[in-house]
Amino acid sequence: MNVNVFKETFQRYLTMVEQTLAQLPWGKDTLNESMYYSLIGGGKRIRPVLALASAEAVGGQPQDILLAAVSLELIHTYSLIHDDLPSMDNDDYRRGRLSNHKVFGEAQAILAGDGLLTYAFELLAEPGHFLPERQLRVIKEVAVAAGKAGMVGGQVADLAGEGKTLSLEEIEEIHKGKTGAMLTVSARLGGILAGGTEEQVGALTEYARALGLAFQIKDDILDVVGDSETIGKPVGSDLKKGKSTYPALLGLEGAERQLHVETLKAQSALEPFGKSAAFLNDLATFIEQRQH
Amino acid sequence: MNVNVFKETFQRYLTMVEQTLAQLPWGKDTLNESMYYSLIGGGKRIRPVLALASAEAVGGQPQDILLAAVSLELIHTYSLIHDDLPSMDNDDYRRGRLSNHKVFGEAQAILAGDGLLTYAFELLAEPGHFLPERQLRVIKEVAVAAGKAGMVGGQVADLAGEGKTLSLEEIEEIHKGKTGAMLTVSARLGGILAGGTEEQVGALTEYARALGLAFQIKDDILDVVGDSETIGKPVGSDLKKGKSTYPALLGLEGAERQLHVETLKAQSALEPFGKSAAFLNDLATFIEQRQH
């Protein structure tokens, strides 16, 4: 892994994502302000970055899929706003800043989330440089990944599992819905819109599934051993809420081992791409080693 | 107006809508149950009916656009679930039944709404009998109508206007967003997917805008003079919440007069269609005269 090349590429993608988000036509009213507040609250932008890198891995131009890529961040942000609500996880802070409902109130936070989710589909349907059939396929896949069989379903299962001891299989099911489905569809979106073959899209899917699990295991580990300043939320909050985690089930060492297995699995799925997937390969290493 | 023909056609559309909604692949878990609970809670199904009738007005087959038409009802239902939440309108009843959060709890109700909104876009992107370009156009239009420049924006403005005395222009702006945009896009969706000309889609737009205003004026009137058993919610609830309404601004007679003006405006927009728009014409009369 050439750390400098990786960081430069990451920064290039990040700049594209941040610029695109900032240049969307935001109004000056409370609704736009509340949507923008959470959207611009930092975060790793893993989903759009994954989409851009996947487009590049199959030989496409990342800038052609920018609106679709940032739509993934809108959906992710809406889910965080709703998850933080008092009736859900009741989190006052997100990424080290006050959560949306602490700033704008509960009603406005619900509507900010609704607005972001809806705006995401507007961006996905924006006329672009793609075959309309591909664009429709992507919209359907994103809706499935974000919906009852994916992210929303995972959140319901997560809430239902609080305070219970879950098996490894059960927590993998929750994570597949809650974070895995959207990460997977992010890679697929990039591959499909940029005209990747079915084999390439399949390889990206395999990569992103393993990466998603690795991401979640690392999240759980950081919640135990991380630094609250660095991760932007109190350490031990999963434990406090009675959430089942990988470290709780496998021990810290077992979780680290599983993290490494998933990282290698992700990287081996990239073999058919060769050099064009160098960034995705490094991204897996980066996620394994991240400190926040 | 031939009342029997109108009722038969309405019933034909309604049966198609109810069957389509019931036959969607609903799971047995809490999330699916909570989504289904509110979706099957009755209601007039005005949005899908408007879409089906608009498809027929331009010479299309209503059954070809069924999934797209019911997606409008999913979006409408999600908006009702979120509007009823304690932090929003705090309504315990909806259409004479307990509101979603009274049955499933607040967290689940938020997620049921999120799930319905997301599922709507899945249905809109389902491969169908349409040109993909038309389908993409419809998805974008629905997202705009449901989003920050439409329904969600209208709900924010509505909450902000509570307890204030608004001008007629201000309440028209709120209604355009809150209910008008989705009613208008319902008619456009039917016209566009079924291959109507731009002139036809324009005429349907003009019709639906006036119909939407008439619908809202009638809603306000029923909130003053309606029977709470028939309308399924307590009479006078707008007044209690300090909402500005047409009767409050124009008096009851003035509101009735405005209702009639909008009804006639809607009907005159249909002139180019001739007989194929007979149902839409009668629908405007029906909305003017409805008692719930």
Chain A contact for B115, CB < 8 A? yes
Residue A228: the pLDDT is: 66
Q: pLDDT digits over A241-250, tens only?
A: 667 789 989 9
Task: State whether A147 and B115 contact (CB < 8 Å).
Answer: yes
Chain B contact for A229, CB < 8 A? no
Rounded to the nearest 10°, the torsion over CA B43, B44, B47, B51 is 130
Residue B161: the pLDDT is: 86
DSSP B97: E
Chain B contact for A111, CB < 8 A? yes
Low-confidence winner among A183-197, B85-99, B194-208 (lowest mean pLDDT): B85-99
- B32 → chain A, closest CA residue: A148
Q: Beta strand pairing status for A97-98 and B97-98? A: unpaired
Q: Which residues of B257-285 are buried (b: 16+ CB within 10 A; e: fewer)?
A: ebbeebbebbbebbeebeeebbbbbbbbb
* A183: closest CA of chain B, how far (Å): 17
Task: State whether A156 and B127 contact (CB < 8 Å).
Answer: no
**Residues on chain B touching A125 (C-beta within 8 angstroms):** 136-137, 139-140, 143
Q: pLDDT digits over B232-263, tens only?
A: 666 676 666 667 789 989 999 999 999 999 99
Residue keyed to tokens 């040109």: B131
Residue B46: the pLDDT is: 96
Q: What are the start-end ranges of the H helices in chain A?
A: 3-23, 30-39, 46-57, 66-84, 100-104, 106-124, 132-146, 151-161, 168-175, 181-193, 198-225, 228-231, 237-240, 246-269, 278-289
Best mutation target among A136, A159, A178 (most B Cβ atoms within 10 Å) is A136
Residue B130: the pLDDT is: 87
Chain A contact for B143, CB < 8 A? yes
Chain B contact for A146, CB < 8 A? yes
The pTM for the full model equals 0.95
* B3-287 CATH choice from 3.30.720.110, 3.40.50.1980, 3.30.200.20, 1.10.600.10: 1.10.600.10
Which of A152, A208, A155, A220 is closest to A184 using CA atoms?
A208
Whether B1 shows a pLDDT value over 80: the answer reads no
* A127: closest CA of chain B, how far (Å): 8
Residue B246 one-letter amino acid: Y
Structural element, H or E, at residue B121: helix B106-124
Residue A234: the pLDDT is: 63
- The arithmetic mean of pLDDT across residues B161-177, rounded, is 89
Q: pLDDT digits over B5-58, tens only?
A: 999 999 999 999 999 999 999 999 999 999 999 999 878 899 999 999 999 999
Residue B163: the pLDDT is: 82
* A3-289 CATH choice from 1.10.340.30, 1.10.645.10, 1.10.600.10, 3.40.50.2300: 1.10.600.10
Point out the residue among A35, A110, A137 whose CB comes nearest to the CB of B148: A35
Point out the residue among B108, B125, B148 whose CB comes nearest to the CB of A115: B148
Residue A239: the pLDDT is: 64
Residue keyed to tokens 């008096």: B251
The answer for B 21-40 residues in CB contact with A (under 8 A) is 27, 29-32, 35
Residue B226: the pLDDT is: 74
- The arithmetic mean of pLDDT across residues B103-109, rounded, is 98
CB atoms within 10 A of CB B238: 18
Whether B284 shows a pLDDT value over 80: the answer reads yes
Is B230 within 8 Å of B292 (Cβ atoms)?
yes
* A136: closest CA of chain B, how far (Å): 6
Point out the residue among A31, A105, A114 whose CB comes nearest to the CB of B82: A114
The answer for B 49-78 residues in CB contact with A (under 8 A) is 78
Residue A288: the pLDDT is: 96
Is B40 within 8 Å of B68 (Cβ atoms)?
no
- B30 → chain A, closest CA residue: A156
Chain B contact for A124, CB < 8 A? yes
Sign of the alpha-carbon torsion through B236, B238, B243, B246:
negative
Whether B89 shows a pLDDT value over 80: the answer reads yes
Whether B140 shows a pLDDT value over 90: the answer reads yes
Residue B231: the pLDDT is: 59
Backbone dihedral angles phi then psi of residue A53, each to the nearest 5 degrees: -65, -35
Q: Beta strand pairing status for B93-94 and B97-98? A: antiparallel
Residue B292: the pLDDT is: 77
pLDDT per residue as tens, chain A (292 positions):
788 999 999 999 999 999 999 999 999 999 999 999 999 987 889 999 999 999 999 999 999 999 999 999 999 999 999 999 999 999 999 988 999 999 999 999 999 999 999 999 999 999 988 899 999 999 999 999 999 999 999 999 988 888 888 898 998 999 999 999 999 999 999 999 999 999 999 999 999 999 999 999 999 999 888 766 665 666 676 666 667 789 989 999 999 999 999 999 999 999 999 999 999 999 999 999 988 7
Task: State whether A147 and B108 contact (CB < 8 Å).
Answer: no
Residue B243: the pLDDT is: 73
Structure tokens at B183: 């009613």
Chain B contact for A121, CB < 8 A? yes
Structural element, H or E, at residue B94: strand B93-94
Residue B230: the pLDDT is: 63
Q: pLDDT digits over A140-175, tens only?
A: 999 999 999 999 999 999 888 888 888 989 989 999
**pLDDT interval class at B211 (50, 70, 90):** very high
Coil, strand or helix at B98: strand
